[in-house]
Amino acid sequence: GENVEQHPSTLSVQEGDSAVIKCTYSDSASNYFPWYKQELGKGPQLIIDIRSNVGEKKDQRIAVTLNKTAKHFSLHITETQPEDSAVYFCAAWNFGNEKLTFGTGTRLTIIP
Amino acid sequence: GAVVSQHPSRVICKSGTSVKIECRSLDFQATTMFWYRQFPKQSLMLMATSNEGSKATYEQGVEKDKFLINHASLTLSTLTVTSAHPEDSSFYICSAIQGGNEKLFFGSGTQLSVL
């Protein structure tokens, strides 16, 4: 089955600086890669996603890059703000078997 | 994005009782919903896949007689924790696939505490 590794597990960034979270996946059949933000006591919120036919996608301060050959994808948050503090999960999805496999999560802390 | 509503957000029950958690897709029809369990500071663990009108598919190690899943309509799936015990205390989260764009949206989660 799919295996998704996520690094780092914790990340502290000064407000205004950029944050990068990286994930690797094992199943070359995975074709959809969403990123979720989870705040304490709440469900994951979809913040950005990318499909396997695209190499990069950007939405305001958030961007995701995908390298299919190397099987890794990354989340980039620029101009970080205190409200960006949360746990971020990457995931890999194989539409063929409808299995969404999560990474282990990154606790991002923005230091004011 | 699409809205998935989950209720209750928090429930405390006595050991031996049953608890039902509801998951609704508010603005789209979801033929497939998923139920996850999450322990503190850990990732989400898939428990089962719920398909409208058919039996749920449970992941290995998940007791289907303990975690009853019903997906009777295209907008509602329920998870019933039967004869709950303290070890069932956890954060339960549902999700639903929005057809067409094939995106997965999550409910707000239910914190279950069994005394």
Q: What is the DSSP string of B2-39?
A: --EEEE-SEEEE-TT--EEEEEEESSS--SEEEEEEE-
Nearest-Cα distance to chain B for A108, in Å, is 13
Mean confidence (pLDDT) of chain B: 92
In this structure, what is the dihedral angle of CA atoms B93, B107, A106, B101, given to the nearest 10 degrees? 120
pLDDT band at residue A60 using 50, 70 and 90 as cut-offs: very high
Of A44, A98, A103, the CB nearest to B49: A98
Residues of B in contact with A45 (CB under 8 A): 106
Q: What is the pLDDT of residues A13-47, one digit of tens each?
A: 999 999 999 999 999 989 999 999 999 999 999 99
Which of B36, B54, B56 lies closest to B46 in space, CA to CA?
A: B36
DSSP H helices in chain A: none
**What confidence score (pLDDT) does residue A108 get?**
98
- The CA-based diameter of chain A, rounded to the nearest angstrom, is 44
**What confidence score (pLDDT) does residue A9 get?**
97
* Three-state SS at B87: helix
**What confidence score (pLDDT) does residue A96 get?**
76
Query: Where does residue A79 rank: exposed (0-12), middle (13-18), buried (19+ CB within 10 A)?
Result: exposed
pLDDT beyond 70 at B1: no
Which of B44, B69, B47, B101 lies closest to A95 in space, CA to CA?
A: B101
Distance CA A47, CA A54 (A): 17
Q: What is the pLDDT of residues B3-20, one digit of tens each?
A: 999 999 999 999 999 999
Residues of A in contact with B54 (CB under 8 A): none
Q: What is the pLDDT of residues B55-100, one digit of tens each?
A: 899 999 999 999 999 988 889 999 999 999 999 999 999 999 887 7
